[in-house]
Amino acid sequence: MADGMAIEIGEAGSVLTAFEPGFSDLFPEKGSLRVLWSEGKWTEGPSYLPLTRSVVFSDIPNDRQMLYSELSGEVHVWRGGHRQFVNGTTPDAAGGLILCEHGTRSLTLLSHDGRRVVLADRFEGGRLNSPNDVVQHPDGSIWFTDPTYGIEFPDQGNPGEKEQKGSFVYRYDPGTGELSAMIRDFAYPNGLAFSPDGTRLYVADSAGSRSPGDKRHIRAFNLDSNGQLTGGEIFVRCLNGVFDGFRVDRAGRLWASARDGVYVISESGEVMGRIATPQTVSNLCFGGPDRDLLYITATSDLLVINLVGPV
């Protein structure tokens, strides 16, 4: 699909499929799904930077981070050629950007003053696998997943040996520098996000991408005020492909990546509907000054769709 090609949402050529009432209300009648850029190999890790009205995102096999400007409509290489193979990212509360680096097998902070600081790259004596996706809890702690994709696939990182006993979900405490393995029973933990009040943690297991028939669901955990996790039941199963990155909106709905688009899932776990995309979706983020845009990284593309905001 060419840059700038627009698919109008509407009766003709609709990209929206509603499974539950209320789904269509999330989108304006005259909105559209648009391709902003389509020159990547595997786009990932989008984060919206409000001050500059821009979206940074990764193009992992090309080992570069791109920047899309809402103001100019242009995309350019923001950071490239570092052998870091950045995957998931999230803005931190202090104005920096937290990166999952496959290449260095680390969780890293690009601070507001331009410094690059490795936050975590080892656990119990071994190197991490390849941090995949990251989110910051309202209390400031940084949570990330650590599956092995980045040491298994030469175009996703630097091939290497697994030095951990599993693929864990970690909590990093920026105050103390302590790294804790909070969840140890995932095969390929991938996207993760908190409910708006920080009391629920959702984590995707994308093992089905490696072994058809294996896990392809999101589990939900409760996080109490003492920092203890309980629960972990399957919250929703993926209908097509696996769940990769996802975000939670202010109403508590999950917007989750899958093979054939973005699925919107209610707080109670009902699949409300799907935004169909031309290619497999890896991740997404909300953006726009009114938080009424959804940016989607989908294989070679950066896509955007209008929402009724603020979401």
Catalog residues that contact Mg ion under the rule CB under 5 A.
Answer: 132-133, 190, 244-245
> Residue 20: which residues within 8 A CB-CB, separation 6 or more?
266, 270, 271, 272, 273
- The CB-of-190 to Mg ion minimum distance in angstroms stands at 4
> Exposed, middle or buried by CB within 10 Å (0-12, 13-18, 19+), for 41?
exposed
Residue with smaller CB distance to Mg ion, 9 or 169: 169
Q: Give least dist CB 169 to Mg ion, A.
A: 13
- Residue 247 tokens read as 């975000």
Q: What are phi and psi of 158, to 5 degrees?
A: -110, 115
Nearest CB to Mg ion, comparing residues 132 and 306? 132
Closer of 16 and 258 to Mg ion (Cβ): 258
Q: What angle do CA 236, 241, 242 make, to 5 degrees?
A: 50
**Amino acid making up residue 184:** R
Half-sphere exposure of 253 (CA within 13 A, CB side): 19
Q: At closest approach, how far in Å is the CB of 244 from Mg ion?
A: 4
Smallest separation (angstroms) from Mg ion to the CB of 191: 5
Looking at this protein, which amino acid is placed at residue 87? N
* Min separation Cβ 149 and Mg ion, Å: 8
Which of residues 102 and 274 has its CB atom nearest to Mg ion in the complex? 102
Q: Which helix (DSSP H) or strand (DSSP E) does residue 150 occupy?
A: helix 149-152
Q: Give 31 or 131: the residue with its C-beta nearer to Mg ion.
A: 131
